Amino acid sequence: MDASVVLDPVDLHLLRLLQNDARTTYRDLAARVGVAPSTCLDRVARLRRSGVILGHRLRLDPAKLGRGLQALLSVQVRPHRRELVGPFVERVRALPEARTVFHLTGPDDYLVHVAVADMADLQRLVLDEFTSRREVARVETRLIFQQWECGPLLPPGHAES
Amino acid sequence: MDASVVLDPVDLHLLRLLQNDARTTYRDLAARVGVAPSTCLDRVARLRRSGVILGHRLRLDPAKLGRGLQALLSVQVRPHRRELVGPFVERVRALPEARTVFHLTGPDDYLVHVAVADMADLQRLVLDEFTSRREVARVETRLIFQQWECGPLLPPGHAES
DNA sequence: CTTGAAAGACACATCCG
DNA sequence: CGGATGTGTCTTTCAAG
């Protein structure tokens, strides 16, 4: 299911272009990669079918949406058993403030990336949704000064922008 | 520049639909929101101009690209001064394994989300690109068991999927 | 697997309420 | 600001190489 997929240079070129702008037309893709538009369509469809491309996401500015403050919450869930952590994750994912949830190795079981309006909002979120829960043993809050997205994700050995 | 923007229910509805599938046509958007296609075009163009929509991103499966192992690296950069941390961040961002870099409050200055092929690859990355650097005082590596993307990012008070 | 042409769908501008 | 109409462009299909 998550086996690696064979990607030829055309696929890689398409992925690199689409990661810069996922709305590039098949016509432009074709011109830049050097194949026919219909071939592009076929290749991209195949990449979607094989699961390499999971979907197209809109990148939004949290600050413009009234969520100018972001933070990472390290959460210990005790006891760390399936019947507790399953509902915990689902509840956290459903929070409108949550962006990503990581299940990690190490003493802090979960890392939750949240976007809130301000400090008061963050305090409310931590108190009401985390520390007040019985299964949450400990929460550590770190504010995000700044964050950078990195270059396009590509297979090892093709480390070019 | 990052002031909050006024969004009416139509804008919110459009954003919600586009976050599920950013390639939805204006025609379909119009039908589902209940306005004319040209209005959709106008609204989305305005959302782009006002900076709410930053761009369109492809969501890829790291495992399918031969990067089945992900980790978070907590990095202390000492001394934590501009002339050191600027180049540090740029160098890390340029790594093909890096996905996101966070500058945080707290004892760990940076959190780096990386995607690698396997444990050997991760070990090489940590040793060659982090701990061997003079400005890197400490690196703590946590593996990612699993990660969940959360619901669409929307302004406070509109917490609906 | 790729291509090129044909048909249909769409984006976008313009005009109008 | 929202809705209709038109034109040029793009996407998508298909038969053929």
D7 C1' to B140 CA distance, Å:
60
Tell me what pLDDT residue B4 has: 72
- Same domain? A66 vs A102: yes
Residue of B62, B99, B71 whose CA lies nearest to A51 = B62
Residue A28: strand pairing partners: none
- How far is the C-alpha of A1 from the C-alpha of A18, rounded, in Å? 24
- Same domain? A67 vs A124: yes
The pair of structure tokens assigned to B132 is 């061997």
Q: How many CB atoms lie within 10 A of CB B97?
A: 26
- Same domain? A40 vs A79: no
DSSP state of A134: T
- Give the tens place of pLDDT for each residue, A28-42: 999 999 999 999 999
- A36 CB contact with strand C at below 7 Å: yes
- Same domain? A41 vs A74: no
The pair of structure tokens assigned to B44 is 């989305």
A-chain CB neighbours of B95 within 8 Å are 150
- Same domain? B45 vs B77: no
- Reading chain A (161 residues) residue by residue, the pLDDT tens digits are 566 788 999 999 999 999 999 999 999 999 999 999 999 999 999 999 999 999 999 999 999 999 999 999 999 999 999 999 999 999 999 999 999 999 999 999 999 999 999 999 999 999 999 999 999 999 999 999 999 999 889 888 755 54
- A27 CB contact with strand D at below 7 Å: yes
3-class secondary structure, B69:
strand
Domain of residue A80: give its range: 62-144
Q: How confident is the model at residue B158 (pLDDT cuts 50, 70, 90)?
A: low
Is residue B95 in some structural domain?
Answer: yes
Is residue B159 in some structural domain?
Answer: no
Give the angle subtended at the CA of A143 by the CAs of A152 and A145, to the nearest 5°.
55
Indicate yes or no: CB of A67 within 8 angstroms of CB of B155: yes
Residue type, A150: C
pTM of the model: 0.93
Helix runs in chain A, H state only? 9-20, 26-33, 37-49, 82-93, 119-125
Q: Is the pLDDT of residue B1 over 60?
A: no
